[in-house]
C-alpha cells in the first residue's frame, strides 16, 4: 500500500526516494548551520530503521522533509526542514503529523527530539503536537559565531 498524506496548498507527504538526496541536501543546508551532504542523506535513505518523508507537489518538487529513526519502542526525530519559501505555511505541521501517523503502525511508544532552545518556530511546532521538555543539553549546538546553544530534549507519548 502506497503511503500518502494530504498537505496544505496542494502539497502531499509521501516517502522519500533515493533520487531525492540532492534536493534533500539543498533543503537541509538552508535550515541548518552544518548541512548534511547528498551522500549522508542518501545513507539515511538506505537505513532500514530510518523513515524519511517528503512534502512535495504533484510534479514531486520538494518543499520539505522529516527524518525519523526507530529503535525498539523509541522513535527519534533526527531532522525536519522546510524550504525557506514554504515556511510558515503549515508544511512542517503536515510533515510531523504524517510522521506521527506513520509511527502508529510501528512498535514506537515514545518519540524524542532535540531542539535549540531559541528555535521559536520549531518549539511551537513540537509543543502543539504534544511534545514536552524532558531535559536540557548545554553547549549542544555550535553556532556560526563560534558560540554554542543549549538544546532542549523533548518527548511525546505516542499512545
Ligand atoms: C521548524 C520548521 C520545520 C517549521 O516548519 P514550517 O512549515 O515553517 O512551520 P508551520 O508553518 O507548519 O508552523 C508550525 C508552527 O510554528 C509556528 N511558526 C512558524 N514559523 C514561525 C516563526 N517564524 N516564528 C514563530 N513561530 C513560527 C506556526 O505558527 C506554528 O505554530 P502553531 O501550530 O502554534 O500555530 C521550519 O521553520 C524550518 O525548516 N526551520 C529550519 C530547520 C529547523 O530549525 N528545524 C528544526 C530543528 S529541531
Confidence of residue 1 (pLDDT cuts 50, 70, 90): confident
**Residue 137: strand pairing partners:** 151
Q: Which of 14, 22, 23, 114 is catalytic?
A: 114
Name the residue with cell 522533509.
Answer: 65
Q: Is the pLDDT reported for residue 60 higher than 90?
A: yes
Q: Is the pLDDT reported for residue 111 higher than 80?
A: yes
Atom 12 (ligand 1) nearest CA: 90
Rounded Cα distance, 130 and 70, in Å: 18
Q: Please name the fold of domain 5-157.
A: Aminopeptidase (3.40.630)
Q: Which of 23, 76, 126, 141 is catalytic?
A: 126
Atom 18 (ligand 1) nearest CA: 121
Rounded Cα distance, 30 and 42, in Å: 18
Confidence of residue 152 (pLDDT cuts 50, 70, 90): very high
Q: What residue ranges line ligand 1, CB within 6 angstroms? A: 31, 80-82, 87-93, 115, 119-122, 124-125, 128
Rounded Cα distance, 143 and 136, in Å: 17
Rounded Cα distance, 113 and 108, in Å: 14
pLDDT, the chain, mean:
96
Q: How far is the CA of 1 from the centre of ligand 1 (A)?
A: 30
Rounded Cα distance, 101 and 119, in Å: 24
Mean pLDDT of 1-19: 94
Q: What's the pLDDT score for residue 38?
A: 96
The pLDDT tens digits of the residues spanning 113-150 come to: 999 999 999 999 999 999 999 999 999 888 888 899 99
Confidence of residue 105 (pLDDT cuts 50, 70, 90): confident
Q: What's the pLDDT score for residue 72?
A: 94
**CA quadruple 31, 37, 42, 48: dihedral sign:** negative
Q: What's the pLDDT score for residue 122?
A: 98
Nearest in space to 54 (alpha carbons), one of 22, 73, 108, 132? 22
The pLDDT tens digits of the residues spanning 75-87 come to: 999 999 999 999 9
Rounded Cα distance, 41 and 87, in Å: 21
Rounded Cα distance, 88 and 148, in Å: 26
Amino acid at each position: 500500500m502506497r503511503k500518502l498524506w494530504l498537505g496544505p496548498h496542494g502539497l502531499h507527504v509521501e516517502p522519500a526516494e533515493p533520487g531525492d538526496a540532492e534536493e534533500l541536501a539543498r533543503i537541509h543546508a538552508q535550515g541548518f548551520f552544518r548541512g548534511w551532504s547528498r551522500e549522508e542523506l542518501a545513507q539515511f535513505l538506505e537505513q532500514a530503521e530510518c523513515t524519511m518523508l517528503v512534502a512535495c507537489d504533484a510534479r514531486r518538487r520538494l518543499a520539505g522533509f522529516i527524518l525519523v529513526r526507530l529503535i525498539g519502542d523509541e522513535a527519534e526525530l533526527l531532522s525536519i526542514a522546510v524550504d525557506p519559501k514554504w515556511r510558515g505555511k503549515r508544511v512542517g505541521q503536515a510533515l510531523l503529523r504524517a510522521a506521527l501517523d506513520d509511527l502508529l503502525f510501528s512498535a514506537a511508544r515514545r518519540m524524542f527530539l532535540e531542539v535549540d532552545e531559541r528555535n521559536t518556530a520549531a518549539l511551537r511546532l513540537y509543543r502543539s503536537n504534544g511534545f514536552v521538555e524532558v531535559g536540557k543539553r548545554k553547549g549542544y549546538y555550535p553556532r556560526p559565531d563560534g558560540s554554542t546553544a543549549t538544546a532542549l530534549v523533548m518527548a511525546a507519548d505516542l499512545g
